[in-house]
Amino acid sequence: MKIERVRFGMLRVPLATPFKTSLRTVDEIADVVVMVDTDDGRTGYGSAPATAVITGDTHGSIIEAIHKVIAPNIIGMEVGNLNAITDHIQKSIIKNYSAKAAMEIAVYDLFGQLYGAPIYKLLGGGESVIVTDITISVDYIDKMVDDAVAACDAGFETLKVKVGKDPEMDIERIKAIYTATADKALIRLDANQGWSPKQAVSVLRALEESGVQLELVEQPVLGEDIEGMKYVTERVHTPVMADESSFGPREAIELIRNRAADIINIKLMKTGGITNAVKIADIAGIHGIECMIGCMLESSIGVAAAAHVAAAKSSVITKIDLDTPSLGKYDPVTSGVRFEGPEIRITDAPGLGIENIDGLEPLDVANGAGRHC
């Protein structure tokens, strides 16, 4: 089975409610879908969203990086030679993590098809059912409380609450949500780099002293501020998780060496795909550090790939944040991964097991179409 060509599409899914963080507000999932065709008629699928404020990737840059640089480096290669293919993907261009992730996901999908097994089993196996949290977007207090209660009523037992816009208001938001849901759900905070180190310590200490028990706080300070992360980690009881502070294995090692975080969040769109995600999990496991698997605001193609990694590395990846398929008005992808409220079920379908993608818009990249998506 040889890689013959790469095609592109756009997939858009409206959100049930706008997704709001301290960095942005979004009302739809919009992914570049990559289709890698082989000489025996099979297709592997990958995808990536535009996350300019996080990874620096836009739809246009993802398409251009794959079409002009990454794809030419792997066309003609045997799918069974997975390590060589992923090495070519990673070394063909610097950064461009989401473009690399989309390509790696598609190649791993083909690898699973080649050997007739789901990706998580090829990565070592594990439980086929995992449980995710759900995101509560930053908003007015009453709206956030209503959203949190509704999520609990829908069966979610862990809430990831977005904060980071206004420290004083954030304290009131979390107190109100905690009061409304304390006996129903665990609460994770995601500050999305929204606080200074001193603000983070002040907010977290105020919450701790008021009796609010948090499972963790995610990325309280700017991603590049490792000293700031360490400052917060050393001064609060709440476990601190690195997200934007950790893209690949090198950053994970730096965080661990500096004891700058208690938990590391792995996202395929930051790591450049499955290969580095597995490396981070293995590094963390050696040092006794827990990981979360997360995702961007993306379709269930990329999220399904992340679920496979989570299942295979469940001894280290103990926390799951793969809720974006639940945030859309519908899921247009029929695959071997089923998103059923808080439960994510992985079938034995080979690779990702993708059977159909409703509403996928083909892009004629060779003729310039889609360049400004």
Sign for the pseudo-dihedral over CA of 18, 242, 331, 96:
positive
Residue 141 and residue 230 in one domain? yes
- What is the predicted pLDDT for the residue at 373? 37
Instruction: Based on the fold, state whether residues 149 and 248 are members of the same structural domain.
Output: yes
The answer to whether 291 is a known ligand-binding residue is no
Number of domain units in the chain: 2
299 in the same domain as 167:
yes
Assigned token pair, 273 = 């795909």
Give domain status of residue 351, yes or no: no
Quick check: is 184 catalytic? no
Q: From the candidates 20, 100, 121, 162, which is the catalytic residue? A: 162
Q: Is residue 138 in some structural domain?
A: yes
Residue 244 known to bind ligand: no
Question: Is position 215 within any domain?
Answer: yes
Q: Is the pTM of this model over 0.85?
A: yes
Please check whether residue 312 is in contact with residue 126, taking contact to mean a CB–CB distance below 8 angstroms.
yes
Residues 125 and 109 in one domain: no
Known binding residue 135? Answer is yes
> Domain check: are 213 and 85 in the same one?
no
Task: Provide the domain limits for residue 74.
Answer: 3-116+359-367
- Predicted local distance difference test score (pLDDT) of residue 367: 61
- Look at residue 37 and tell me if it is in a domain: yes
372 is a domain residue = no
Burial of 184 (0-12, 13-18, 19+ CB in 10 A): middle
Q: Is 162 a catalytic residue?
A: yes
Tell me what pLDDT residue 165 has.
Answer: 81
Taking the CA of residue 262 as centre, how many other CA atoms within 13 Å lie in the half-sphere pointing to its CB?
A: 17
Ligand-binding site membership of 270 (annotated): no
Asked, for residue 146, whether it belongs to a domain, the answer is: yes
- What residue has token string 């949290």? 133
Answer whether residue 341 is part of any domain.
Answer: yes
Residue 353 contacts residue 125 (beta carbons within 8 Å)? no
Whether 149 and 260 share a structural domain: yes
Number of residues that make up the chain? 373
Indicate whether 236 and 338 sit together in one domain. Answer: yes
373 is in an annotated binding site: no
Q: Is 295 annotated as a binding residue?
A: yes
Q: What is the CATH number of the domain that holds 287?
A: 3.20.20.120
Q: Could you write out the three-class secondary structure of 156-188?
A: CCEEEEECCCCHHHHHHHHHHHHHHHCCCCEEE
Residues 257 and 316 reside in one and the same domain: yes
Residues 112 and 157 in one domain: no
Whole-number pLDDT of residue 370: 45
Digits of tens for pLDDT over the chain (373 positions)? 999 999 999 999 999 888 877 677 889 999 999 999 999 999 999 999 999 989 999 999 999 999 999 999 999 999 999 999 999 999 999 999 999 999 999 999 999 999 999 999 999 999 999 999 999 999 999 999 999 999 999 999 999 999 988 999 999 999 999 999 988 999 999 999 999 999 999 999 999 999 999 999 999 999 999 999 999 999 999 999 999 999 999 999 999 999 999 999 999 999 999 999 999 999 999 999 999 999 999 999 999 999 999 999 999 999 999 999 999 999 999 999 999 999 999 999 999 999 999 999 999 997 654 443 3
Domain presence at residue 133: yes
Residue 297 annotated as binding site: yes
Does 229 lie in the same domain as 158?
A: yes
Tell me: do 101 and 166 sit in the same domain.
Answer: no
Check which CATH number belongs to the domain holding 64 and give it.
3.30.390.10
Beta strands in 39-185 (DSSP E): 43-49, 129-131, 134-136, 158-162
- Beta-sheet pairing, 337-340 with 134-136: unpaired
Residues 125 and 102 both lie in one domain: no
Catalytic residue among 100, 267, 270, 319: 267
